[in-house]
Amino acid sequence: MNKETGKALEVNGKTVTASKAFTPDSADGSVDIVFTFDGSALAGKTVVAFEDLKVNKISVATHADIKDENQSVHFPQIKNNCKKTVKRRLAFQKQTIM
């Protein structure tokens, strides 16, 4: 989710989502979910991951808190003001070509 707008995150006209089917080993645990997208246009923005756990296509748990810092990813605005100045002294010698 785009934290600023509260709407689903879209990149290049497509909504960013990720999902993973899994079978839990115990009552407690975690599963890593990987989101793959071009984040170059997100500089200076914050996105928030929402979770929806389904069993047999029925939602049994949801975590959708736009203010949750633990679910937030901040994309920094990086600027580069570096300037490189190169000064060279060129020396020419008088040459005679025959």
Q: Which two tokens stand for residue 2?
A: 């785009």
Q: What is the pTM of this model?
A: 0.69
Asked if 49 and 71 count as a contact pair (C-beta separation under 8 A), the reply is: yes
Please report the pLDDT score of residue 62 as a whole number. Answer: 93
Where does the chain show beta strands of DSSP type E?
10-11, 14-15, 46-48, 51-55, 58-63, 72-74
Q: Which two tokens stand for residue 32?
A: 């890593």
pLDDT tens string 12-53: 999 999 999 988 888 888 888 888 888 888 999 999 999 999
Please give the C-alpha separations between residue 81 and each of 2, 3, 31, 43, 62, in angstroms, as whole numbers. 28, 28, 41, 17, 44
The b-or-e profile of 13-24 (16+ CB within 10 A means b, else e) is eeebeeeeeeee
Please report the pLDDT score of residue 87 as a whole number. Answer: 64
CA–CA dist 73, 48 (Å, integer): 6
